[in-house]
Structure 1
Amino acid sequence: MKNLVYLNNAASTWPKPPCVLDAVAQSSSLPYLESGRTTLEGLISYPDEGRKALSSFFQTDDPSEWVFTSNATDSLNILIHGFATGLNTPFHVITTELEHNSVIRPLLTLKKAEKISLSIIPADSGGHINPDLIREAITPETRLAVINHGSNVTGAVQDITEICRLLHEEDVFSIIDGSQTAGQIPIRLSEIPVDAFVFTGHKYLFGIPGIGGFFIRTPESVLSLHQGGTGFDSASPDHPAEMPARFEAGTPNFPGIAALTAGIDYVSGIGFDRICLHLDEMSRYLSKRLSDLDNVILYSPDPDTPIFSFNISGVDPEDVGLILGRKYNVVTRTGLHCAPWIHQRLTNGQGCVRISLSYLNTMEQCRLVADVIEGLV
């Protein structure tokens, strides 16, 4: 991996900090401890420590409000289908054109089954959702809204405080997909009237793949679709209703939780002031360099998070990605980025090349990729 320039952090961050890799190794080398499942003492309870870390990092009151899953896609499916199953009557849902397939496909599955009707809110030219459009879309049948916090195509970040406030006033259950923002910008859930907030561990929290989860303020609103072993109350034929066991069954991903906890500690140790300053410096540089190139179509010229989606006029984006990777050892992401609705408007379904930065990228890497792209046009 020598001299590799990795610019695909919106998919998964790389490299992982040494403390994260150490946590994975340690968690895999010791017996596991989970409350109710072992008589060992003095070892680490990874789920308990992980929930405490999440609650502190996102500023929530009760660590038991955090549920571990395998990733954000798993979380969104649990919440969307669990909410629909619990309601058990057709209802109206609001979402946006910025969503990932992990939202689009569950909603379209429910729509095809005639369990929901669906309103899709368009973004403005900067990739932002006007809260007034959400308000106007609410009907007496609206029960659920699933909203992207940060776009993996445009880099735009939505005002979820205002959006969740108006949804709360209208008694609409809110699910916020924070996959692209958790770890990149400060998120204080104590100040946001959100019902459920979804995160993944392997992006900007610097964990490893296979771990994610969600915060839920009103768990009784979502029917649990997972039942199984929990390590306690084993004689009961019913799955526990209390949190967090309500949504968790089976053996947790201990190495994943350990890595996530270490990643949260890593981000907290750096601090958002330093993270945002460094990301902003790199973003401003890339934005100017790419915007100055005549044949480059930049779909996110002034993003809120460091994502730069672009095409070169007359060149297939797949070819651009191959040249960057094979000739210059620069890793980007091409295609539709699992977000076909926004691509239909921005690129007419063609797709594009995406550069996505993390705190571990450097100005030197930004200069290199800008020089390479300039040479291609």
Structure 2
Amino acid sequence: MPEGKRHAHGILVVPETLTLEWPPEDSPLFGEVITPAQQLLPREGFLSQVQAIRTEIKYDGELHTSEMTGKEWSKREAYGRRVLDLSCDSLRQKGPRGELPYPFFRFGALFFPPNTPYLREFYSGDDPERKLKYFETLMRMAIKGVLHYGYTGLDHVFASVEVEVLGLVLDGDEHLRRPIDEMRVIERLKPELRPGFSIAPGFEIRAVDSNPSRCEADIRERGDSELLQATDLLLGATRFVADGTYRGLCSPVGVAPVLRTKFGSRNEKMAHVYQPFCSVLRKSAERRQQSFASWKNSGHYRSFSASQAEPLGEGWKFPNIEWEIDEEGQLLIPLFPGS
């Protein structure tokens, strides 16, 4: 890890099925009255829309933010912005007018402070087993954190929320010297989960190439690859705002550039790719500034989180951090300016 750089990990929770159940005599707190049981297939619906966007833009390539080089707006950037916009909408637990059910995705970003001795040793050390054990521990903490934050505290929308975790998809495993120790990750996680959260009996950890073109023979893997790319976009957008790179580059609301538009810098171009997430963050900050009740009533309430790891003795603590907007420029205040 380069000196002064703040390392980050991202995790995206994607419901395979979402079942909304209400006693016959009851109705939801928001939205229209629905039948006692209603089911949605968020993962399938998301991937169907992703494919529709690919077809419309005529782009079948990969979607890594690190590959969005140069200053010109191409089909890759156009596709990335559309997928990020779809991802932001899918994070909602209820629609703009209170519609239920809604995809109910959840996203979490975990930042580590720069120049952390333990992390420097991890990223530059030569002990593969120690690196892997660190990764397994981090994985367990990330899963628990995003589940507990994202699917609790919503009793103003749902009477209760129950989550069963079916599996975990990793962005490749070339950097791992052995398979992930599920006992270290899952068996230790089970007793740490709050009531209402469980691990499915058939839980599995799979590694998938995040380039969909390399997964065409397996429909499931290709879908997982698309979801990994969406995670990369969300994490890239989070970092872009967190370190203040976006400030002065794009307005809160903007229209997507036309193909072959050239910008003054790559950052200026990426500001337009990340605009959908920047807009969600800004609206969330504005609602919190108005009142907690206003923020709590948002469809994006608790849908995404950013935590900063802080050393605590021999362990870590992970306080959640919120964005704020400045009073003068009405811009999001960077979480980690200059990092």
Pairwise same-fold verdict (TM > 0.5): no
Greater radius of gyration (CA): 1
Relative to the length of structure 2, the TM-score reads 0.24
Q: TM-score if structure 1 supplies the norm length?
A: 0.22
